[in-house]
Structure 1
């Protein structure tokens, strides 16, 4: 009996699965959106942090140091985006602040009920019960916050507290929690480089004030010695155009003597006159409307609110100063004399307008004559320096 040859059955090839590429695209879009949202949150946290620092005595030097460093980074690379650094790190701190505030909501609610019970039933069982609840919530909140910070301080650690106690028990059994937390804390603080920005801002502040104190004092003495007013205004008109670029030169080179390198700043202007004029125009034009926020004295606790406006206006102008400085470094030859002449005319016009506004500010600002020394275009981006006067 002959065996029949096996019949091959043609099988249709299965169509390629398209779900995986679609899933990959969706995952990339989700990660990109999450990264963008995180970056925007970090930018908002950075602006808020600079506003808080600029309204706090001594810490104002940190905000000025950051602005000088951002201008220096743009001057070194020529790219404006390089001046916006520390956004992710600021977002981490902002997440800690938001997480802490959210975590304190149950404690605030329990305390509110306890205080209400003390008014309605003073000394009664209801009041005692609610105070017991408030103490228990306080203990749990402290444990939750401690665990969230020990686990890294990410926002999700604050919003999802259920795994915290088990993690803390496991780490206590393993040992070394204190040493790891201490080292992690100082490493996190070191990433901010606080001493670098504090020194940069303090030296920049002192050097800038050394340029401003003489013409500003002449303007302040106008009521007693009227002849000193025009002389001081003329001196300030000569000093103001060169100060931002001296500050940027100091931040780039890291030498305090660069704050007084007038010849070097003039040489840089000859290589990029229009860029210098444009950057100075934006910086001084952005600082002029901010004098309206100095009319009324603001409590120190709420000074960070107008400080937000100061940072938003002045930080981009600082980036443009660094951009102009970078253009002067890239160009080997000086610009034509005509372009230098036009740039000088524009700078003189802008400086004169700024000086007139500064002179009039003593009559509308809360600090009066002392407000002449609070020139936020070159110093801390804050309405008031809050020095004890």
Structure 2
């Protein structure tokens, strides 16, 4: 009886308690399961390295292999990390160039800023990094093979124009058809195996053998379907779009009235317009100093009402004035050169080339703002009074210079007065 009761106690489920709660860091980026040191994975051939890893997670990167025991695995891990960062910036640049869809890009920037603001850890600055290598690999691999098919298609078209109906033209057309079918099969197999970049340049028969083995197991369709659903869920498209839309609305509400006053000047001979412009410029200086941190607070707490908590933001400034001063200076120093791209009307096809510059400039500034917010939130004591006032007095002329330069952008910019309302440092990061 005692043995049976012991077994019953072992298998009886217990109610969850507060001790089972996980910290927020583990919820944001759960740790990958540990990998035993001595396993068969150390003996895997390179083609298995390109396939889906056993411990891959859509929420966190796989563990870094030991550089001495597994140097090739470690080198591939570093390559995939670098490729993922580039792919992530390319994805954000692509999203930022599309109207309405660019709220997704802003939402992702705010999500990254909010994670850093909550935790104070820079390793949470790229929440979509585990997904980026797959997205980038599928996009780049498909693009490379598309160019191969396109070159052959151009050659077949030239042959048909030069010698229509000839044997050479017919041969080129047959070759193009066979190549298109072969490339399509190759792309499907590479994506079915995991979509890593190396798989798109791996021999097609090896990918086919791998898929045949998976199909013989009988559960490939279920596992592939679950992986696709998990992949789409990890993108959190609805969350990022809603976060970006609300973050834009909150910041725009703060900036709208000062910007309207700042753009009121049409005739310098009218004192009323001059006074309104000066008042709007002064209000812009004040607003631009706290809107980035109000936005960071909103991103950290996911509450639109946080955009109205100016008193708490001012109190946080008193706790870390130097860090906040540096964060504001870096934010607008990186944002100011971007107005140079708005001095002329950007063609739609050229806009895709400019959005990466906007993302590369604004992304680090957002992360720095989030880190400064977290640093102030974790402090309980205010900074020295003299330091706080020195930072305030030093920040006012710097932001005043920024607003002064902003005043001349409608005169030389292609968008006219509309350029004053764009404020890409805290609003949408796009060049149009």
Tell me, in whole angstroms, the C-alpha distance in 1 between the residues paired with 2:184 and 2:128.
Answer: 29
- Counterpart selection for 1:183 from 217, 226, 244: 226
* Contact in 2 for aligned 1:273/1:343 (Cα 8 Å): yes
State the partner residue of 2:152.
110
Query: SS where residue 427 of structure 2 aligns?
Result: coil
Tell me, in whole angstroms, the C-alpha distance in 1 between the residues paired with 2:88 and 2:103.
Answer: 16
Taking a change above 3 Å as real, the CA distance of residues 40 and 168 of structure 1, as seen in their structure-2 partners, is closer
Moved more, 353-362 or 240-249: 353-362
Taking a change above 3 Å as real, the CA distance of residues 87 and 172 of structure 1, as seen in their structure-2 partners, is closer
Moved more, 202-211 or 348-357: 348-357
Structure 2 unmatched runs, 5+: 1-65, 268-272
Query: SS where residue 252 of structure 2 aligns?
Result: helix
State the partner residue of 1:59.
101
- Counterpart selection for 1:295 from 343, 346, 366: 343
- Counterpart selection for 1:205 from 245, 248, 270: 248
Taking a change above 3 Å as real, the CA distance of residues 330 and 174 of structure 1, as seen in their structure-2 partners, is closer
Tell me, in whole angstroms, the C-alpha distance in 1 between the residues paired with 2:127 and 2:205.
Answer: 34
Tell me, in whole angstroms, the C-alpha distance in 2 between the residues paired with 1:70 and 1:150.
Answer: 30
State the partner residue of 2:191.
149
- Counterpart selection for 2:127 from 59, 78, 85: 85
* Contact in 2 for aligned 1:38/1:88 (Cα 8 Å): no
Cα-to-partner distance string for 1:250-288 (whole Å, 9 max, x where unaligned): 011111000111111111111111111110011011111
Taking a change above 3 Å as real, the CA distance of residues 262 and 25 of structure 1, as seen in their structure-2 partners, is closer
Tell me, in whole angstroms, the C-alpha distance in 2 between the residues paired with 1:69 and 1:378.
Answer: 13
The TM-score with structure 1 as length reference comes to 0.87
Cα-to-partner distance string for 1:268-320 (whole Å, 9 max, x where unaligned): 11111111111001101111111111112222333232222222222111121
Tell me, in whole angstroms, the C-alpha distance in 2 between the residues paired with 1:274 and 1:60.
Answer: 33
Which has the higher Rg, Structure 1 or Structure 2? 1
- Counterpart selection for 1:163 from 175, 184, 206: 206
* Contact in 2 for aligned 1:92/1:154 (Cα 8 Å): yes
Moved more, 323-332 or 199-208: 323-332
* Contact in 2 for aligned 1:279/1:324 (Cα 8 Å): yes
Tell me, in whole angstroms, the C-alpha distance in 1 between the residues paired with 2:378 and 2:302.
Answer: 19
State the partner residue of 2:82.
40
RMSD between aligned alpha carbons? 2.1
What number of residue pairs does the alignment pair up?
361
Query: How far is the alpha carbon of 1:189 from its aligned partner?
Result: 1.4
Query: How far is the alpha carbon of 1:91 from its aligned partner?
Result: 1.8
Cα-to-partner distance string for 1:115-153 (whole Å, 9 max, x where unaligned): 110121023332222112212211222222122222221
The answer on 1:96 being equivalent to 2:144 is no
State the partner residue of 2:17.
none
Taking a change above 3 Å as real, the CA distance of residues 99 and 333 of structure 1, as seen in their structure-2 partners, is same
Query: SS where residue 325 of structure 2 aligns?
Result: helix
- Counterpart selection for 1:29 from 49, 60, 71: 71
Query: How far is the alpha carbon of 1:157 from its aligned partner?
Result: 2.3
Moved more, 97-106 or 229-238: 97-106
Taking a change above 3 Å as real, the CA distance of residues 120 and 209 of structure 1, as seen in their structure-2 partners, is same
Paired residues for 1:1-389 under 5 Å: 26-160=68-202, 161-168=204-211, 179-223=222-266, 225-384=273-432
Query: How far is the alpha carbon of 1:171 from its aligned partner?
Result: 5.5
* Contact in 1 for aligned 2:84/2:132 (Cα 8 Å): yes
Taking a change above 3 Å as real, the CA distance of residues 141 and 336 of structure 1, as seen in their structure-2 partners, is same
The TM-score with structure 2 as length reference comes to 0.78
Moved more, 154-163 or 266-275: 154-163
Tell me, in whole angstroms, the C-alpha distance in 1 between the residues paired with 2:285 and 2:235.
Answer: 36
Cα-to-partner distance string for 1:16-58 (whole Å, 9 max, x where unaligned): xxxxxxxx97543333322222211111111111111111112
